[in-house]
Structure 1
Amino acid sequence: MKTAEIKQRWLDYFEANGHAVVPSASVISSDPSILFNIAGMVQFIPYLTGREPAPFNRATSVQKCVRTGDIEEVGQTTRHGTFFQMNGNFSFGDYFKREAIRFAWGLLTNAVADGGFGFDKDRLWATVHADDIETIDLWLEETTVPRERIQPRGNEDNFWHTGQPGPGGYCSEIYFDRGPEYGVDGGPVADEDRYIEIWNLVFMEFELSEVRSKVDFDIAGELPAKNIDTGMGLERVAFLLQGVENMYEIDEVFPVIAAASRLSGHTYGVDHEPDVQMRVVADHVRSSLIIIGDGVRPGNEGRGYILRRLLRRAVRAMRLLGVKDEVLPELLPVSMEAMKLSYPELEVEFDRISRIAYAEEKAFLRTLESGTQLFQNAADSLSGSDSTISGDVAFALHDTHGFPIDLTLEMASEQGVHVDEEGFRTLMDEQRTRAKADAKAKKGGGHTDLSAYSALLEDGTSEFVGYDRLEADSRVRGIVVDGLAQEVLTPGQSADLILDLTPFYAEAGGQRADIGLIKGHGFTARVLDVQNPVKGLPAHRVEVIDGEIRVGAEVLAVVDHDHRFQGSQAHTATHLVHAALREILGTHAVQAGSMNQPGYMRFDYSFPEAPSQQMRAEIEDVANLAVRSNYEVGTEYLPFEDARKSGAMALFGEKYPNVVRVVDIGGPFSRELCGGTHVGASSEVGPISVLSEASVGSGVRRIEAAVGMDAFRSLAAERTIVSSLSDMLKVPGTDVRERVAELMGKLKDAEKEIARLNSQQLLASAGKFLDSAETVGSTLFVVAELGDVSNAGDIRTVVTDLRARVSERSAVVLGIGTSNGKPVVVVATTAASREDGRQAGKLVSLACGELGGGGGGKPDLAQGGGSDAAAIPAAIAAVKAALQ
């Protein structure tokens, strides 16, 4: 049974049993303290915890998840993977234990012909919490599992909670017995390799008052509404139903292993180490495919860093298998073909996904080249008595340059040197400790107490009426100060006001919030910001100007008209620029983020290279032609899938409701899903003036523009600058560019001539350094102290010239000077001196150590620098001592 069929059977079964089918949320977590969704219940947390009312009593989903906490274990065992799919069914105060057990047993054991999975009833076991006697009875009543195959366990295995005070409850897990060839008898408590957990039923029934650890907590009482949260591991069930040994061999994963085997020449299933690397490749390529598909790009922080690490580990694993060329163009399409039945959008978006992945591989291969050179410098600097590369160096290679420790160890072995692995691991552990502390701090700060808002939400949402009007009569439903509800707000105080209805737009979708006033009998408050702490409940951050505001007060909410209009101009301009980008650069110029506020818009988009100046001009022209065309700006509400089919663009990684708002500008010109405010016609946007276009990350570019009167002011300022330059250069404004280019060319020519004359002067005086050379041991030691030089190249020129003059002898030439106030040193050796064991790389490292810096290079020529020019005599003395 294909994995995609297992997924569909799950959804069909629970839909037939009254559950709303909810599409998987993006793998990107909406919680800023969590990088990726790590469980099937994540998108339902607001409903399970009671923060928001659930729009349905029952739901089912198959959620995309990524866990990277044990990434180093991937491939080492067959139980660890980064991307996985979690099938879940949920009840929000509807059914409870009995029905959850009945549903699970039915789907698992019903015949395949009847829509079930057809598991052998005699090979299924259950575990329950030792204190949960009720669930034991329910298993016996609802299923054919005998009492001896129902095993009690403790808090460690069969109690669920979030790790914080709040909801919790007993678990009941379902296991499948793979047979005696996989381990000992005795059920899950005896052997969890033989008995594989496939389904976990969580009975969310208690309120925990304090949580000290996984097994140590206090139960305050029962929840007023009891919920069900269950999870079935799709990959685990797939490998059992497909009759293979583990999740790496299922239909959605193994094709990549087969491709890696073909490319590398290693046969899977023969040797442990090659098997490990092929499993790493299959897992990481699949995970990267999904993560990029949901809108993440490689980077140096957060999700981007995780993605970069996955891609680079896959490339590294293929390198360890002996494949040194680019591999992702071979492997990524294989993974897409295997996954497209479950996620058809991967095939649709594969051009974008593959360009991002392939560019990252190319960058990593360049990193490997530079890392190899850095490693070589470190190896060359080792003395005969010290053959160990320090943990500091190995860590710097790994952390700063992205050079994997496995490659460092591999290359060290090839050169007969060692690596201080213990020191490296210590530094890695310290880094992990810091990262965990940072994550914990973020998590602690990221979960603001929203109970006051949730309590207000129980009485219903606040209606937004700002699309149609900028003033509205309303009533104060609540006042929240620092997370706590209060009844009265006095002059000078700041707080969040919750209204019955509001014309104020809360910040969302890249659009900044409205500002304005809230007025009532005897009081006035200035609205500084509007946010949505919980969905459906705009919170107006206000500062009281005069009077007292009380809960229940009748108010007039007034949006600042100019601020709203200019913000709407900017938001509509964002859509126009997006459409222009796609028209000029192609449909693969995909939105990666935006921000718009009065007079200004910023738009991030995915594109592999910088557009030409001509393209930039064309983008600006197309956007302004759309303004001049006076397109009507219209909106309509459609079911999400209908909106996508109509051509409306959606943002990758964004979570959309079942019914969405579509903003249409000029029919086919621009059609996007958007909840923001807009002008009524494109001509109301006014001029759009592109201020800049630049890279903001790997494959992500940013275009910034002034809009409306701000664009006019920007253009007027540029005109003033051009006019001033025209007066200074004594040429018409149209000729300023050519005149400046001419002057720049003359300046560069003059700089080159000065540099040439300086080099000639240095070379002419180089002979004097030979006159002062001395013989140290059997080696002629030539020192060229050059003082201030324009650049390090001058020192290099003198050193190589001096070496040529003494090439027949055993000689070492050291050139040293300062450039921009920093000491620079170059060392060259002749062939005879190298035969005597003199290596430029090691000598320059000694000198740079005295200068407070570092350097390296090849045995015949090396260069470095430092920060302490006063230490130049000590640097020369260190090299001389080494020669002695």
Structure 2
Amino acid sequence: MRTAEIRRRFLDFFAERGHTVVPSAPLPTPDPTLLFVNAGMVPFKPYLTGEVPAPWPRATSVQKCVRTLDIEEVGRTTRHGSFFQMNGNFSLGDYFKEEAIAFAWELSTASVEAGGYGLDPDRIWVTVHHSDDESRGLWRRIAGLPDERIVARGDEDNFWSMGVPGPCGPCSELYYDRGPALGREGGPAVDEDRYMEFWNLVFMQYERGEGPGKSGYPILGELPRRNIDTGMGLERMATLLQGVDNLYEIDETRPVLDRAAALAEVRYGADAEADVRLRVVADHVRTALMLLADGTSPGNEGRGYVLRRILRRAVRSMRQLGHPEPVLLDLLATARDCMAPSYPEVAEAYDRIADRAASEEEAFRATLRQGTTVLDTAVAKVKAEGGRALPGAQAFLLHDTYGFPIDLTLEMAAEQGVRVDREGFTALMREQRERARADARARKSGGTDLTVLRPVLDEHGPTDWRAWDTLTTDSRVLAIMGATGPAPAVREGDIATVVLDRTPFYAESGGQDSDAGRLSGASVEAEVLDVQRPLPGLVVHQVRILSGELATGERVHAAVDPEWRLGARQAHSGTHVLHAALRQVLGPNALQSGSYNRPGHLRLDFPWRGALSPAARSEIEEAANQALRRDLPVDVRWMTLPEAKELGALALFDETYGEKVRVVEIGGAWSRELCGGTHVAHASQIGTVALTAESSVGAGMRRLEAAVGVEGFGYLARERDLVARIAEQLQAPRAELPDRIAGLLDRLKSADRENQRLREQTTRARANDLAAGATDVDGTLVVTATTDGGDARTLAVAVRDRLPADRPGVVVVGTPAGDRATLVTAVNGAARSTGRDASALVKRLLDGRGGGSPDLAQGGGIPSERLPATLASVPGLLADA
């Protein structure tokens, strides 16, 4: 049974039993604690925890997931894949254990003809929590399982929680016996390769308190509403139903593996280590395809770094298999054909996917060349100093600055007989990740601990958010968080986080900056500095108290600065207009991958290889302003996500969408995007879109920046004034400025060439004089000199070349540069044959600093006042050597 069919049967089964089919959420998630959705329940988390009322009592989904914590195990076990699909059914206060167990057993064991999976019931084992007698009894009654195939396990295996206070409960897992050829008898407690887990049923019925790890925390009592969260691994079920050994050999990955083997000219199954690398390629290429399809772009941090690492591991694995040529486009096309039956969007977006992947592979090939040089130099230094380990800081530099994977550093260092301080590298990586996560959490939470905010949401419910409808509300202060935690009141000069029962302020999201404005009360005036949405449904305001005192429970008038909001609307609508203009000029592959807009300014990132030409930039700007001139209408409509996709609406992949989505249209189909931001009513209200910059923000990624509204007119006015001043200074009409400036540049270049020729003549003449005045030191001709220009290297080489070729010759030239001086040393061939070394000499003169080749070296760092004495010491150093 093909994977797409397994997926279809699961959704159909639960839809027939009253479950709403919920589309998979995009892999990127706005949760500040996660980069990607890593479990099927993540999109349902607000409903399961009660943070947001559930829109349906029963739901089912097949959720795309990415998990990379155990990426090193990919390819080495049958159970680890970085991308996987989790089939789930969820009960939100509706049915509980009995129905969940019955559903899982029926679908697993019903015949294929009856719509099930046809698993042999006599080969299914289950596990239950040791305290869950109810589940044990249900498995006996519903499935007829004997006691020996119902295995009791402890908290580590069969009790679920999110790791923090909140819902928890026992779980029951289903395993399938794949036969004695794959391991020992005795059930899942003995061998989880032979007995493969394929379904986990979580029974959320308790509330847990504070405590570490997976056990040892107190159970506070029963939940007021019990939930069901189940997850059936789609790839694992495909492994079972397709009769293959592991998830890398199912129909959605095996063709990629086979194509990789064909390109590398190896046979799968012939060599264990080669098989691991082929499985890594198959898994990583499919993962990269799905991440790229959901809008993630390779980068140096966060989600982008995860994707970059996955792509580069795939490329490197192919190199290790003996295929150094570009490979991603070939393999991604194969993965596309495998995944398109379940995810048509991977075929629709393939041109964009291929372009980004090709850019990343090209950049990585350059990284390999550059990083290899840096690594070789670092290893040589370690050896020269008698060391045996490459410092962790050096490995981190290779990773962080050059994008060099740590596993590649480990392997290449080992080839040269040097180990790597892996512990030091890991510590630096941990520090970097913790800083990044802390920054993300602080930004999303407005700098406030989420555990402090969650009780506010539990007690008062979601914020009544009015940003789409009004600029003012009369509100009540629900909670105040000061510098040290919850506070009853804050006073003049304090900065605090404030939760209101209702608010007109836009919370930063979708690329749009948060609103600015004021909170005013009977005895308080506060400035709103930032607005965030740290938890689904909860809006928080960072404020500075300008006068008086703000207290919990106080009534305030919340007012958005109308000029700020107007500028924000212009900038956000301007972003949509620029995006549509970009696609109109460059084509559909120029799809927005990130944006940021605030009053007067916007930026938009998009995949593109190479800088845009001036003509292309001009055409994009003109297309955007033509839309403003036509005064295209801006309309907002609500519809279901499938309806929006059918309509052709573009989705921003870092957003999470509910059952109903908000579609913003500018000129109908010309610009149609899912968006939660604030917008103008007509395109002409944007004023103008003036492109101010176009730049690279990574391999295959460009950034456009623009000024809009009054700021756009101001930018154009400044440009006009600048041109006027240049025309006045050159005494030329504006139309002639390009030719006049080109002529000036040509004359400057000619003057530079003439100056260079004169400098070279002067250097040659001085070199002749210096060579003629060389001092004999024990048979070696020695020249020392100073120069004030930047031609020390040129002078040293010129003097060396003018010394007699049959006489050993050493030249040292110093240059004072402010407080510090530099030295260049040059040694001819005759001196080299007597053991003279330019690199060793410059290090002796500079207390170990500097370096280069044996015949030419340089360094710096000594105080300029020491330069004469240093040069005077050269003959003595050479005589003692």
* CA shift for structure 1 position 818: 6.0
Matching residue of 1:428: 425
Matching residue of 1:716: 717
Is the CA contact (8 Å cut-off) linking 2:632 and 2:666 kept in structure 1?
yes
* 2:596 match: secondary structure: strand
Whole-Å Cα distance in 1 between the matches of residues 8 and 833 of structure 2? Answer: 72
Change (3 A) 1:496 1:176: same
Whole-Å Cα distance in 1 between the matches of residues 541 and 384 of structure 2? Answer: 71
Is the CA contact (8 Å cut-off) linking 1:478 and 1:487 kept in structure 2?
no
What are the Cα deviations for residues 78-122 of structure 1, in whole angstroms up to 9, with x where unaligned?
A: 332211222222222211111111111111111111111111111
Q: Which stretch of structure 1 is more off in the superposition, 201-210 or 674-683?
A: 674-683
What are the Cα deviations for residues 786-830 of structure 1, in whole angstroms up to 9, with x where unaligned?
A: 444326xx5157427735866667777666646787766666676
In the alignment, structure 2 segments of 5+ residues that lack a partner are: none
Whole-Å Cα distance in 2 between the matches of residues 287 and 84 of structure 1? Answer: 8
Matching residue of 2:642: 641
Matching residue of 1:705: 706
- When the two structures are superposed, what TM-score results if normalisation uses the length of structure 1? 0.88
* 2:184 match: secondary structure: coil
Is the CA contact (8 Å cut-off) linking 2:177 and 2:196 kept in structure 1?
yes
Is the CA contact (8 Å cut-off) linking 2:161 and 2:168 kept in structure 1?
yes
Matching residue of 2:570: 569
Is the CA contact (8 Å cut-off) linking 1:495 and 1:543 kept in structure 2?
no
Change (3 A) 1:160 1:783: farther
Corresponding position: 1:242 with 2:242: yes
Whole-Å Cα distance in 2 between the matches of residues 437 and 878 of structure 1? Answer: 55
Matching residue of 1:454: 457
Matching residue of 1:464: 466
* CA shift for structure 1 position 480: 4.4
Q: How does 1:678-827 map onto structure 2 within 5 Å?
A: 678-767=679-768, 770=771, 785-790=785-790, 795=793, 798-799=796-797, 802-803=800-801, 817=815
* CA shift for structure 1 position 350: 0.9
* 2:205 match: secondary structure: strand
Change (3 A) 1:765 1:361: same
Q: How does 1:454-603 map onto structure 2 within 5 Å?
A: 454-455=457-458, 458=461, 462=464, 464=466, 466-467=468-469, 470=471, 476=476, 478-481=478-481, 496=498, 498-499=500-501, 503-516=504-517, 529-539=530-540, 559-603=560-604
* CA shift for structure 1 position 31: 1.2
* CA shift for structure 1 position 543: 6.5
* CA shift for structure 1 position 268: 1.2
Is the CA contact (8 Å cut-off) linking 2:825 and 2:842 kept in structure 1?
no
Letter paired with 1:418: G
Q: Which stretch of structure 1 is more off in the superposition, 208-217 or 319-328?
A: 208-217
Whole-Å Cα distance in 1 between the matches of residues 845 and 12 of structure 2? Answer: 70
* CA shift for structure 1 position 399: 4.5
Letter paired with 1:587: P
Matching residue of 1:125: 125
Q: How does 1:217-228 map onto structure 2 within 5 Å?
A: 217-228=217-228
In the alignment, structure 1 segments of 5+ residues that lack a partner are: none
Is the CA contact (8 Å cut-off) linking 1:848 and 1:866 kept in structure 2?
no
Corresponding position: 1:31 with 2:34: no
Matching residue of 2:205: 205
Change (3 A) 1:371 1:453: same
Q: How does 1:62-461 map onto structure 2 within 5 Å?
A: 62-378=62-378, 390-391=390-391, 396-404=397-405, 407=408, 417-419=416-418, 421=419, 423-435=420-432, 437-438=434-435, 441=438, 448=450, 449-455=452-458, 458=461
- When the two structures are superposed, what TM-score results if normalisation uses the length of structure 2? 0.88
What are the Cα deviations for residues 742-794 of structure 1, in whole angstroms up to 9, with x where unaligned?
A: 334433433343333333322333345556778999x9676665444326xx5
Whole-Å Cα distance in 2 between the matches of residues 440 and 389 of structure 1? Answer: 30
Whole-Å Cα distance in 1 between the matches of residues 436 and 72 of structure 2? Answer: 19
* 1:567 match: secondary structure: helix
How many residues get paired?
Answer: 869
Q: Which stretch of structure 1 is more off in the superposition, 713-722 or 396-405?
A: 396-405
Is the CA contact (8 Å cut-off) linking 1:57 and 1:92 kept in structure 2?
yes
Is the CA contact (8 Å cut-off) linking 1:773 and 1:780 kept in structure 2?
no
Letter paired with 1:598: P
What are the Cα deviations for residues 15-69 of structure 1, in whole angstroms up to 9, with x where unaligned?
A: 1222221111111121123222211111111111111111111222222222222
* 2:578 match: secondary structure: helix
Letter paired with 1:600: H
Change (3 A) 1:803 1:283: farther
Give RMSD over aligned pairs: 3.7
Whole-Å Cα distance in 1 between the matches of residues 704 and 11 of structure 2? Answer: 42
Change (3 A) 1:771 1:144: farther
* 1:418 match: secondary structure: coil
Whole-Å Cα distance in 2 between the matches of residues 812 and 90 of structure 1? Answer: 82
* CA shift for structure 1 position 286: 1.5
* 2:270 match: secondary structure: coil
Is the CA contact (8 Å cut-off) linking 1:52 and 1:534 kept in structure 2?
no
Change (3 A) 1:819 1:368: farther
What are the Cα deviations for residues 363-405 of structure 1, in whole angstroms up to 9, with x where unaligned?
A: 1111111223334445666778959573465554445323345
Whole-Å Cα distance in 2 between the matches of residues 553 and 372 of structure 1? Answer: 64
Is the CA contact (8 Å cut-off) linking 1:452 and 1:484 kept in structure 2?
no
Is the CA contact (8 Å cut-off) linking 1:851 and 1:866 kept in structure 2?
no
* CA shift for structure 1 position 734: 3.8
Q: Which stretch of structure 1 is more off in the superposition, 800-809 or 193-202?
A: 800-809
Letter paired with 1:691: T
* 1:84 match: secondary structure: strand
